[in-house]
């Protein structure tokens, strides 16, 4: 089995990655301009109207994700019967997860980004033990175009595993 297949076969690793992507989409809001008259959620929207698509809100909507929608729950991405990774996190629609958007304007690099995150996380977690430099610090997410910690993220890393 190659490394990529091995990483894809790890349900909890995939659950953690999917929860990170769900709760902290890199692009928290984007806009579109309607090309024709349409309706959205029963509301008429005329051609030429700028609308905002907000993955940050959709990915955390309790109507789509349940009462624990704001909580980090990697297990939601693991099928309870088979123990295998799922791609829907228990949500009824794939439009409940908009981190990469969908359709012709969806992220062309989604598969690469997911594979890169899996590989990076597996390598880091297998190499270091992480803790906040200041355990009382509250990380505040902000940014204008992309999401990031407003004041950075100050961590203490301790080598573990092979070289420890």
Q: How confident is the chain (164 residues) per 10-residue block, as mean pLDDT? A: 88 96 95 96 97 96 97 96 91 94 93 96 94 95 90 94 60
Query: Can you give the length of the chain in residues?
Result: 164
Secondary-structure percent of the chain, ordered helix, strand, coil, rounded to 5: 35, 20, 50
Please tell me whether residue 96 adopts helix, strand or coil conformation.
Answer: helix
Check residue 13 and give its pLDDT: 96
Same domain membership, residue 142 and residue 118: no
Same domain membership, residue 115 and residue 156: no
DSSP annotation of 129: E
Angle formed by the axes of helices 110-125 and 11-23, nearest 10°: 120
Check residue 79 and give its pLDDT: 93
Instruction: Give the total number of structural domains in the chain.
Output: 2
Q: What is the pTM of this model?
A: 0.89
List the domain range (segments joined by +) for residue 135: 126-164
Check residue 163 and give its pLDDT: 54
Same domain membership, residue 134 and residue 84: no
HSE-up of residue 141 (Cα within 13 Å, Cβ side): 11
Decide: residue 122, CB within 10 A, 0-12 exposed, 13-18 middle, 19+ buried: middle
Residue whose entry in the numeric block shows the structure tokens 């729950």 = 73
Same domain membership, residue 138 and residue 113: no
How far apart are the C-alpha atoms of 29 and 145, rounded to whole Å? 8
Same domain membership, residue 49 and residue 19: yes
Same domain membership, residue 144 and residue 118: no
Helix residue ranges per DSSP H, the chain: 3-8, 11-23, 55-58, 62-65, 110-125
Check residue 59 and give its pLDDT: 98
Q: Distance of CA 28 to CAs 6, 10, 50, 68, 155, Å?
A: 30, 27, 17, 20, 24
Same domain membership, residue 59 and residue 102: yes
Check residue 1 and give its pLDDT: 81
Check residue 139 and give its pLDDT: 92
HSE-up of residue 42 (Cα within 13 Å, Cβ side): 0
- Nearest CA to 59 out of 25, 110, 102 is that of 25
């Amino acid at each position: 089995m190659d490394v990529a297949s091995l990483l894809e076969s790890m349900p909890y690793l995939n659950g953690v990655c999917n929860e990170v992507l769900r709760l902290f989409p890199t692009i928290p809001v984007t806009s579109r301009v309607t090309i024709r008259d349409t309706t959205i959620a029963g509301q008429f929207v005329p051609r030429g109207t700028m609308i905002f698509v907000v993955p940050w809100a959709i990915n955390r909507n309790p109507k789509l994700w349940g009462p624990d929608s704001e909580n980090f729950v990697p297990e939601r991405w693991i099928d309870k019967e088979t123990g295998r990774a799922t791609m829907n996190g228990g949500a009824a629609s794939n439009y409940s997860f908009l981190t990469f958007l969908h359709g012709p304007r969806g992220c062309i690099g989604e598969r690469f980004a997911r594979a890169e995150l899996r590989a990076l996380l597996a390598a880091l977690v297998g190499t270091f033990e992480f803790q906040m430099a200041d355990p009382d610090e509250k990380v505040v997410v902000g940014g204008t175009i992309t999401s990031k910690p407003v004041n950075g993220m100050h961590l203490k890393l301790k080598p573990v595993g092979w070289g420890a």
